Structure 1
Amino acid sequence: MGTDRMGTDLERFLEDLGLKQFYREKLPLSKILEINKKTIDDEPPKYKSDLPWYFLKKLMMVNVTARKIKCTSASESNRDDPLGIDDIDFDFLDSPNEDETLNPLDIITALFLCSDGFVQQELALKMSMCQFSVPLLLPNSDTKQCTLMLWAMRDIVRKYRPPDLLQSKGFREERITASELPMVSFVRFGECSLSKSEMLNKFLSTSQQYHDTFVHHNMECGDRLKTISSGLTEITWCLPCGNTNMDIFSEPVAIANLRGDIASFETQFSFLCQTSAAVFVFFDQLDSECKLLTNKNHKAQIFLVGNQQDKNFRVDPVKKLATSLALTKNNILIKTKQMNDADFVKQLRDRVNSVVNNSQYKMSVEKMADIAQDLGIMVDENSEECQAGKRLADAITAEIQDTLKYKEQQLPLQGQIWKELTLLEKETFRLQKSWF
């Protein structure tokens, strides 16, 4: 399906957001950093076309409420006015007006699709600073293709304390795209009554602090139907700081989350099965002959996560599929009728912990690029714009390396001169140094 055809879902959506002009001529960084009346005023958005700019403004300020975006209608702004019972319009009970609310994931997807590579880097960096999940595979609902966002994540640097640095109190600081980490992915098969993303937020939150890393159904506007973000695969990182009260895992791990049914997004699912140490499949109802799970040459461990509390749940297909996949008891997690969310999350953590501690399969986002290309997934860094930027960056860093090498070569000579100075000259030098 070509992007030239008028009236596609993506084009209509971008037109509603006022972003259609940036779909081909990408949004530059200068536009985002522009200071005008809208950026100074703190008025809530009134129209759909205000939503992306409101989100951008909040995100550039590293405001963790950036994803809480919806239009404020005139009726909402006047809802506190005292009214008699005869003055109230009850029509909203029959047909509530939801036209002006959008799923935050759609707005994020639209902005990444309409931004140039440098804006995408800024978006990804600021989102990671807010502890939001970041796009790993960005879908395009028109072309039915997705893109690995390697270049977009290049600026993200994270600092953590692995177990081998606990005694020295040191930290390891790395570009996240180059970090060799085990990745654990979470996907959905068919309809699922259990909110995968909400469970992941509980899973990633400590007992002291809850944080919505992933947008979920019970968040503001999170229940709105997704228009262009189905197939979006997000990534976040769970990195230890050396404090046992705060660390969920002692080892660093990447967490990926696929939006949508894997039956509709087989390419993304295949990518995750080849890049992850483990893939957790959430479901209500399973087909014992599920070819999607049995016919793939998975490098990842497969875990089945079911919800017995759903009326469609059946045990027999789970047993047959588990036998077909040669799964152990540890690879099956069922939320029983007696199990609450806290117990379920604890068991989920135990399963992931066993993967992180025992799996030797680690991969950086850089190395994922080869797998992506083999599956027909585009890589943003392969664009001419990114390649030109990379060549310039390499040229600049090469000059820096040459300067450092020159300074290193001069050190022995400087050391010899220093040795030949008299005691009085050395003391004079120290005094002069302290003056400036």
Structure 2
Amino acid sequence: MSMCQFAVPLILPAVDSNSHTFLLFGLRDIVKRWIPNNQRQQKEYAEESIVQHSIPVISFVRLGEYSLSKSKILNQVLSPEEQAHDFFVHHDINGGDVNRKIADGLVEVAWYLPAGMESDLFHDPITITNLRGDLQNNKKPFCFLSKISQTVFIFIEDNKALESHHFTDINVSCKNYFFIINLQSSKIIDGKLKTFLTNLSCVESRKYLFMIHKDNKDTARKNIEYLTKIFPDLKQNIIVLNPRISQERQISIKLQVLMKELTSKKENTNALQDMAQVAYDVRIDVDENCKECKDTRTLALEITKSIGDVAVYKKETMKLQGDAWIELAKLEKELCQMKNQGNLSGQAYKSQLIKRIEDLRRQQSQQRLPEDMKKFLDALIRMSKEVLPFFLKWLKFYLDAISRDSILQVQQTEEKGLGKNISDRNLGMEHFLRELGQFYEAECFMKESGEIQDRQRKFHHLPEIGARLLLDGFPLELIDGDASNIPL
């Protein structure tokens, strides 16, 4: 969903209870790339897991019913006028008019990431969250958003249904609340809305925006006269909606201006992974809080904590790969093609190649399994089908983060002519699996040549583990591009 630029769930409500879950673990796979504002001239991009980078959060919620589509407004806020994209589902898209059953209380999240161009709507990354449903019925997620957001835009409309809601319950003096008040054709009357507006006029922050409709000019004029009396700077905070132009578009243009002003202050920027404590404080569960997730994270950290220089680590820990494996692959290919036979007879040349392959396999079999590889193999053997995916995801997360940092350093030094091969700086789970595969092939050779017995084998169960990983949906890389080899 994220790769297709769709909003993804951040807080998921339970179907059968009033509980909610913060999907931090589910978001750790998302990696984004953008060009920071201070690197626009150099065109140097940043690439990071979206849960680790500190980005200002701007949230959108509504109080009561709202005649305009909040999601549609957000889509237009995040899209250039000529390139509209549906980040958030709304009722005008295919399937968007399905009756809502479990979406109330759902918080979705999307990101705007600049490309370092003048046409960027925003020159700094922004996290956008959208609370589905009425905030009065979803106080936990609303409280969470209030605590983590730089600004919370609250959409309010003056329809009769709102008279049942408690306007006065909202703390209008909260510094990060920004009220978007849609005054339709009806006149402002005595009641909770009028009390709310009076309280709002006493706040120094002046964070409000009124929308007046031209449908009834007399009512619109009276509403403006009333608002002018209590809001001295009304001209800067009012939109008189033109009925001939899309109302959502008119509002979105104003919101873009407001968001640029708010995000330029760079206040209250936190990474998503640092918001877990806030979720606990408002009694929202965190998906990483389960025992399986905690234990496997600890093991993944133990395996990756010793990785400093990636190229050095691969050379010292994964000795069966690299030059030796590349030579093996070339020898096996030459054994089939016999291109460099020269003056030797076919049998003599073939015997020479086989002898060299046997020597390399013996050298491989004499290597000891490194400690990190032991921990990795032990996890593959002993972990249950339910626990293993947690471990594999954590390990992939940490290895990817290490590789990104290492490759970035290489790319920066390559500009000065000091860079190494980027492939040497890439480290993933496939490298761990390849190393185990080479141990298995070396052991198979020793068994076939009669140099070890069945009872001495240590890696005979690896094919079973590989099959189990495939059946569980984990991809295994069969073709190794570095060595141009298919280790079957």
TM range (shorter): 0.5 to 0.7
Structure 1 position 219, deviation (Å): 1.7
CA distance in 2, matches of 1:224, 1:169: 43
Residue 157 (str. 1) matches residue 64 (str. 2): no
- Any residues of structure 2 matched to 1:287-366 within 5 Å, and which? 290-294=167-171, 298=174, 301-309=176-184, 311=186, 316-317=194-195, 319-328=197-206, 330-334=207-211, 336-337=213-214, 338-339=240-241, 340=245, 341=247, 342-366=249-273
Aligned equivalents of 1:310 and 1:217: distance in 2?
A: 24
Distance of aligned partners of 1:164 and 1:379 in 2 relative to their CA distance in 1, 3 Å threshold:
same
- Equivalent in the alignment of 2:365: none
Instruction: Map 1:394-413 onto structure 2 (within 5 A).
Output: 394-401=301-308
SS in 2 for 1:400: coil
Q: In structure 2, what is the Cα distance between the partners aligned to 1:317 and 1:291?
A: 8
Separation of aligned partners in 2, 1:310 and 1:136: 36
Amino acid at match of 2:208: N
**Helix, strand or coil at the partner of 2:308:** helix
Q: Please, which of 113, 116, 129 is the counterpart of residue 239 of structure 1?
A: 113
Equivalent of residue 123 in structure 2, options 250, 253, 259: 250
- Structure 1 355/403 Cα, relative in aligned 2: closer, same or farther at 3 Å? closer
1:213 paired residue among 87, 97, 101: 87
Computed over aligned residues only, the root mean square deviation of the Cα atoms, in angstroms, reads: 2.7
Code of the aligned partner of 1:135:
P
User: SS of 2:81's equivalent?
Assistant: coil
CA deviation string 1:186-227 (max 9, x = no partner): 001011111101111111111231111001121222122211
1:351-373 deviations in whole A, cap 9, x for unaligned? Answer: 11111012411111111101100
How far did residue 320 of structure 1 move?
Answer: 1.4
Q: State the match for 2:152 in structure 1.
A: 279
TM-score normalised by L of structure 2: 0.53
Provide the rounded CA distance (Å) in 1 between the counterparts of 2:107 and 2:136: 15
Structure 1 unaligned blocks of 5 or more: 1-126, 410-435
In structure 2, distance between residues paired with 1:310 and 1:154 = 46
Matches of 1:147 and 1:327, distance apart in 2:
33
Deviation at 1:244, TM superposition (A): 1.7
**Cα deviation per residue 1:223-274 (whole Å; 9 max; x = unaligned)?**
22211121000111111111122x1101111000000101001111110110
**For 1:351 and 1:132, how far apart are their aligned partners in 2?**
23
CA gap of 1:335–1:253, structure 2 versus 1, over 3 A, is farther
Question: Aligned partners of 1:335 and 1:205: how far apart in 2?
Answer: 24
What secondary structure does 1:158 align onto? strand
Q: In the alignment, which residue of structure 1 is the partner of 2:424?
A: none
2:282 to 375, 381, 397: 375
Counterpart Cα distance in 2 of 1:325 and 1:375: 26
For residues 313 and 240 of structure 1, the distance between their equivalents in structure 2, rounded to whole angstroms, comes to 41
- Structure 2 unmatched runs, 5+: 215-239, 317-483
Work out the CA distance in 2 between the residues paired with 1:243 and 1:231: 36
Q: Secondary structure at the match of 1:351?
A: helix
Other structure's SS at 2:264 match? helix
Q: 1: distance between equivalents of 2:267 and 2:291?
A: 35
Check 1:221–1:335 CA distance in 2 against 1; reply closer, same or farther (3 A cut).
Answer: farther
- Displacement after TM superposition at 1:396 (Å): 2.9
* Corresponding residue of 1:427: none
Cα separation, partners in 2 of 1:407 and 1:215, compared to 1, 3 Å: closer
Q: Deviations over 1:18-51 (max 9, x none)?
A: xxxxxxxxxxxxxxxxxxxxxxxxxxxxxxxxxx
Q: Find the aligned partners of 1:256 and 1:188 in 2 and give their Cα distance.
A: 12
Q: Contact between 1:139 and 1:232, CA under 8 Å: does it hold in 2? A: yes
- The letter for the 2-side match of 1:258 is L
Given that residues 167 and 196 in structure 2 are in contact (C-alpha distance below 8 angstroms), is that contact kept between their aligned partners in structure 1? no
Asked if 2 retains the 8 angstrom alpha-carbon contact of 1:184 and 1:276, the reply is yes
Indicate whether 1:268 and 2:175 are aligned.
no
SS state at 1:227 partner: coil
Q: CA deviation at 1:386?
A: 1.8
Deviation at 1:322, TM superposition (A): 1.4
| Kept after mapping to 2: 8 A contact 1:294/1:324 | no
Q: Structure 1 residues 324, 148: closer, same or farther in 2, change over 3 A?
A: farther
What letter is aligned with 1:316? K
Give the distance between the partners of 2:208 and 2:292, measured in 1 at CA: 44
What one-letter code is carried by the residue in structure 1 that aligns with 2:200? A
Equivalent position SS for 1:199? helix
Give distance in 1, aligned partners of 2:256 and 2:311: 46
Give the TM-score normalised by the residue count of structure 1: 0.59
CA drift of 1:291 comes to 3.9
Residue equivalent to 2:16 = 142
Who wins on radius of gyration, i.e. which is larger? Answer: 2
What amino acid is the match of 2:60? F
CA deviation after TM superposition for structure 1 residue 292, in Å = 3.5
Shift of 1:289: 6.2
* Residue range with higher mean Cα deviation, 394-403 or 231-240: 394-403
**2:295 maps to what in 1?**
388
Q: Distance in 2 between matches of 1:154 and 1:289?
A: 38
Structure 2: distance between partners of 1:184 and 1:218:
24
1:385 CA drift (Å): 2.6
Q: Which letter maps to 2:199? A: L
Alpha carbons of 1:372 and 1:324: their partners in 2 closer, same or farther (altered >3 Å)? farther
Structure 1 residues 336 and 348, CA gap change in structure 2 (3 angstroms)? farther
